[in-house]
Structure 1
Amino acid sequence: MSFRLSLICALGCAILFFSTAVTADNWPSFRGSSDGFVAESDIPTEFGPGNHEAWSIDLPRGHSSPTVWNGTVYLTAHTPKTNTLHVYALDGETGAESWHKEISVNEVENFIHPDGSAAASSIATNGTHVIAYFASSGIYCFNAGGEQLWHFPMETARSYSGASSSPIIHNNIVYVQRVASGSTFVVAINFNTGKQIWRHDFPVLGRLGSKSGAATVRATDKELIVHNTTGVSAHDLKTGEIIWSVRAATTATSSLVLTDTHVYAATYVQTGEEALRPDLPAWETLLKSTDKDNDQNVSAAEFPRELFWFRRPEGEASPQSSPRIRINHVDFNKDGKVGEQEWNGFKKRFETNRENVTDHGLLAIQLGGKGDVTKTHMTVVEKQGLPEVPSPVIGNSHLFMIKNGGILTCIDIKANKRLYRQRLGTTGTHFASPVLTGNLLIVCDGTGQIMIADVSGDRPKVVSKTLLDDRVFATPTVVDNTLYIRTESKL
């Protein structure tokens, strides 16, 4: 059945949060407690128009996830035609607008990827302060009634896919990571005044540093932990000084998950495993399959469309899932065709670069270290099935990852052992992070399919599948007996 609505689905019992001091009525930031885990619930596994649906409203476009505090739902949006950014506060019972702030900017965040959004960062709140971060113009703070308290300005970000990490509030300090072309840092802002407390700058790693960095920071009682394009690092909460760090190749597009003893990072790299690394054919093979006019060259019209820098084999929802190698990349003398010498030279450089590629992996980092702990506190738990965007989720000592194509991996984090990897049934590119509520895993793919699976057994058991007739980028929110789903155009 195809539903044309984004849904809010009434759940069956009270929900308790895991490892935070928030109540069952609150989901204070991206992924709630930043873990995406709700200890207990009894959500309906079947829903649709007229079936557990409370309400549905149209919204401007945006990829931010709903944040909920004491029955008020907060999210951001963007109207491209007018360069207007939006902050919404909605009544959680009815969907009615409590307040709405419009922010006009001269220029919105500049990104190349067609799936980027100028309203991708989720709001953070503690009930009295509402923090909205836009990479176009900075951080805004409103009170619960919608009055703007302060604005921390930032230059308009320029990046490949959007500087879309979300802010958090911890001990009256706002923390946010920003990764953009020419500038990558984490900043701490005074909760009451909007003044900068500290800022830590990271090295800008060329094209990688300008393309990535959507990870939301995590805070413990002792440190701020950051997944950045240099790896993972822990910082003093008051000064920003590095306490420990782990070096890793990563696009830093998924957020960290924590236990009492370890932090886990899915350090995805675009060529991080064999399935993502296409080979180039030998010149003789290329010529045989393309040289239609037998001139011993490959012209622009003959140049194949199936040559790629890297592959996302099942990322169909994204127009740039597999970036093509084009003739201008190989035609060094710019005569409009590729000869044997040009091809062999390009192939040699291509393969030399591949020799320097680092495998990506799910990292388990033991907390409590000092300095560079890459060799002493870090374990590579898994090298396959890494998600590019969705963050892992942990519940009952099991870590779950969902990647493009609906491939679900389950790790026993006590034994650091993969229990299974199998297809769940969703397809295409996955942007939303999975949410675990009790033993039920909620997975959304980019096409609008929502899969709910029981993961209490040795293998996942799909219990329902719902198709929304709209794309889904945002991670669902589960709070106060309600499931909030934000699609590209609705909540």
Structure 2
Amino acid sequence: MTFGEDSHVTWKTPVPGRAWSSPVIADGVIWCTTAIERAATDEEKVAMMRESGIEDRKMKELAIAKAIELKLVSIDLASGKILGTIELTSIEKPDAIHSLNSYASPTPVINGDHLYCHFGTYGTFCVNRHTSDIVWQRRLPLEHGVGPGSSPIVMDDVLVLIQDGMDRQYVTGLNTQTGETIWETDRPEFTGASPESSKSYCTPIAITDPLGREQLVCMGAQWMVAYQAKTGKEIWRLRHGRGFSVVPRPVYHDGVVFFSTGFGKPELWAVRVDGSGDVTDTHVQWTMKSGIPARPSPLLHDGLIYVISDNGVASCFDVESGDPIWKKRIGGDYSASPTLIGKHLYFGSHDGKVTVMTPGPDAEVVAESELDGKIMASPAVVDGALILRTDQAVYRIEN
């Protein structure tokens, strides 16, 4: 399917602010978080960064706002009409973030009547999606270094947050009804890591392993760790090397978890999840060191795993062996993860280009489309429609 601003777009709805969080959908309503920034002049930016202790040589890769307003926007799935905006909080003098990040990058999660919005150090909010009331809110301060990134998940009525900052690295479980802390578990000890290389931005996944154990699989710098959801007790751990600032979310299939090791030199690992304790030397199924992304997450489908590197090289590997199947340069820079809809793979780049490919060992590019704006958020899929967010608007795209 080839689409564009005037083709196959059911509706397009501008959303104020800047946010890389993905849209989430339930009962015919799309929910998006956003951050409204009060801009600073170049001179004010330099002054604020220096006041924060940031070295001049690092300022070019950072951005900062004088203040931010964090909001939750609801959009009608059928018409694209904005149904409402919920004011969550305002923050004066927020920390600097990476120029590729936003103040609203973590994706919210829906669980029953409630929607959980997480903004890292700027707050976590439980919103009743029927009444728009804020049920509870918490603020767990953390020095992210380049802004928040890890999204929450819900497992067994526990809201799980990965809190891997420069100052402290831990995983915590909050009561979904009250926001109270149920458990808090520090990460394993790092080897030769500076605060900069201890941080991470990964989102956990919840699985049930072949032994019937429920696991929270939580990737971080140097370590991949699985925890019990109800207690936070560690089940197994694996040292993956010196990777840090991990963004890609792991994926799971048939007793094996697949994950990227993050910045440094990204590698793709396949690890069996039926172990206990330190499984570094016993449960690694395979590793791949070429063409692996530091930002987009991998995609699993029909015995194959697909990735798109940050600089636009798409690759396909065999799930069982890790053997390369194909590699294709499609160009562009990427943060959004690949998406499968029906019989096609979709890859959205920073410059708004969407490349459509057929999956499988004989994959080929079948279409290229252009949208206004920048694609940083991974899209959602509902009823065969692509719900895609750029830095300017949310689109519903379908045949």
TM over 0.5: yes
Say if 2:114 is the partner of 1:149. no
Say if 2:61 is the partner of 1:74. no
Say if 2:331 is the partner of 1:426. yes
**CA contact under 8 A between 1:179 and 1:209: conserved in structure 2?**
no
Say if 2:200 is the partner of 1:208. no
**CA contact under 8 A between 2:167 and 2:195: conserved in structure 1?**
no
2:47 alignment partner in structure 1: none
Say if 2:308 is the partner of 1:380. no
What secondary structure does 2:328 align onto? strand
**CA contact under 8 A between 2:5 and 2:370: conserved in structure 1?**
no
| Aligned mate of 2:169, from 184, 208, 224 | 184
**CA contact under 8 A between 2:19 and 2:391: conserved in structure 1?**
yes
1:118-157 deviation digits (Å, cap 9, x = unpaired): 10011100241100001242210011221111112222x4
- CA shift, 1:206, in A, is 1.8
- CA shift, 1:104, in A, is 3.0
Letter in 1 for 2:353: Q
| Higher-RCO chain (CA-CA 8 Å, sequence separation at least 6) | 1
1:236-315 to 2 correspondences below 5 Å: 236-248=228-240, 249-251=242-244, 252-270=246-264, 272=265
What secondary structure does 2:308 align onto? strand
- CA shift, 1:161, in A, is 2.8
Greater gyration radius: 1
Measure the CA separation in 2 of the matches of 1:163 and 1:244: 26
Taking a change above 3 Å as real, the CA distance of residues 112 and 51 of structure 1, as seen in their structure-2 partners, is: closer
Say if 2:115 is the partner of 1:135. no
What secondary structure does 1:83 align onto? strand
1:446-485 to 2 correspondences below 5 Å: 446-456=350-360, 458-485=361-388
1:284 alignment partner in structure 2: none
- For the aligned residues, what is the CA RMSD? 1.7
Measure the CA separation in 1 of the matches of 2:112 and 2:26: 6
Number of residues of Structure 1 aligned to a counterpart in Structure 2: 354
**CA contact under 8 A between 1:167 and 1:176: conserved in structure 2?**
yes
Say if 2:223 is the partner of 1:227. no
Measure the CA separation in 2 of the matches of 1:91 and 1:127: 18
Unaligned runs of 5+ in 2: 39-66, 209-213, 395-399
Report the identity percentage.
Answer: 26
1:362 alignment partner in structure 2: 268
Measure the CA separation in 1 of the matches of 2:94 and 2:308: 28
Measure the CA separation in 1 of the matches of 2:312 and 2:204: 26
Letter in 2 for 1:225: V
Measure the CA separation in 2 of the matches of 1:112 and 1:64: 15
Letter in 1 for 2:283: H
**CA contact under 8 A between 1:127 and 1:144: conserved in structure 2?**
no
Q: Which stretch of the first structure deviates more once superposed, 137-146 or 365-374?
A: 137-146
Measure the CA separation in 1 of the matches of 2:369 and 2:343: 18
Measure the CA separation in 2 of the matches of 1:261 and 1:190: 28
TM-score (norm 2): 0.84
**CA contact under 8 A between 1:476 and 1:483: conserved in structure 2?**
yes
- CA shift, 1:109, in A, is 4.7
**CA contact under 8 A between 1:109 and 1:158: conserved in structure 2?**
no
What secondary structure does 1:240 align onto? coil
- CA shift, 1:397, in A, is 0.7
Q: Which stretch of the first structure deviates more once superposed, 247-256 or 101-110?
A: 101-110
Say if 2:103 is the partner of 1:118. yes
| Aligned mate of 2:92, from 104, 107, 121 | 107
- CA shift, 1:486, in A, is 0.6
Measure the CA separation in 1 of the matches of 2:93 and 2:349: 27
1:217 alignment partner in structure 2: 204
Measure the CA separation in 1 of the matches of 2:300 and 2:14: 33
Letter in 2 for 1:68: I
Provide runs of 4+ in structure 1 moved above 4 Å.
Answer: none
1:165-203 deviation digits (Å, cap 9, x = unpaired): 111112221111122220222111111121111011225
- CA shift, 1:207, in A, is 3.7
1:31-42 to 2 correspondences below 5 Å: none
Measure the CA separation in 2 of the matches of 1:231 and 1:488: 33
Measure the CA separation in 2 of the matches of 1:188 and 1:119: 21
1:355-394 deviation digits (Å, cap 9, x = unpaired): xxxxx42111101101000010013331111101000010
| Aligned mate of 1:62, from 19, 30, 40 | 19
1:52 alignment partner in structure 2: 8
Measure the CA separation in 2 of the matches of 1:137 and 1:113: 16
1:328 alignment partner in structure 2: none
Measure the CA separation in 2 of the matches of 1:391 and 1:266: 8
Measure the CA separation in 1 of the matches of 2:91 and 2:348: 34
**CA contact under 8 A between 2:345 and 2:359: conserved in structure 1?**
yes
- CA shift, 1:215, in A, is 1.1
Measure the CA separation in 2 of the matches of 1:127 and 1:93: 21
